[in-house]
Amino acid sequence: MIGALMAIPVVEGVVGGVMGSVANVFSPPAPAPAAPSPTFGPYLSSATSAAAAQPSFTAAPTGTMRADQWNQMKNSDVNCWMKSLTGRHVDATDETGRTISGLVNGMQQLGGVLALNIGGHLVSLAQLKQISWSPSVV
């Protein structure tokens, strides 16, 4: 009887192994491992370089900006803003309250000072208190 009891684990191991093999034959195959997800590094790099290439500031179709506002901007932003005024009508008010109106023909740097070409007249940004702009009506 003791011999029979000792044979039970061996028989269970053999029967279990056979049953496990039969069960594996009828079970669905394991799903294939998922393909590794693509890295986003190249896409992020191209998006970052594209964003850096674009100007960080452009003027809305109409607007007003005061000297204290453009004095807080980075030089590159002021340059982009001034260039975006080209072809627009502006009303620029200087420190004395005089208004210079006309079409912006571009911007120039005079030494260390930026200036707008308004209707053929160079107007230094340092002299101005406020600039309002709108689309050209011409």
Indicate the pTM of the whole model: 0.56
- Which residue ranges of the chain lie beneath pLDDT 70? 1-59, 138
Residue 109: CATH number of its domain: 2.30.30.100
Nearest Cα residue to 113 out of 85, 79, 88, 86: 79
SS3 category, 50: helix
Return the pLDDT at 109.
87
Nearest Cα residue to 124 out of 67, 86, 57: 67
**Residue 29 domain flag:** no
Return the pLDDT at 12.
56
Number of domains the chain contains = 1
Q: Are 12 and 19 in contact (CB under 8 A)?
A: no
Please state the φ and ψ torsions of residue 67, each to the nearest 5 degrees.
-60, -40
pLDDT digits (tens, 9 = 90+) for 28-51: 666 666 665 556 666 666 655 555
Return the pLDDT at 37.
58
**Residue 24 domain flag:** no
Report the DSSP beta bridge partners of residue 123: 116
Return the pLDDT at 111.
82
**Residue 17 domain flag:** no
**Residue 9 domain flag:** no
Share of the chain above pLDDT 70, in %: 56
**Residue 31 domain flag:** no
**Residue 131 domain flag:** yes
Return the pLDDT at 53.
47
**Residue 20 domain flag:** no
**Residue 120 lies in domain:** 56-135
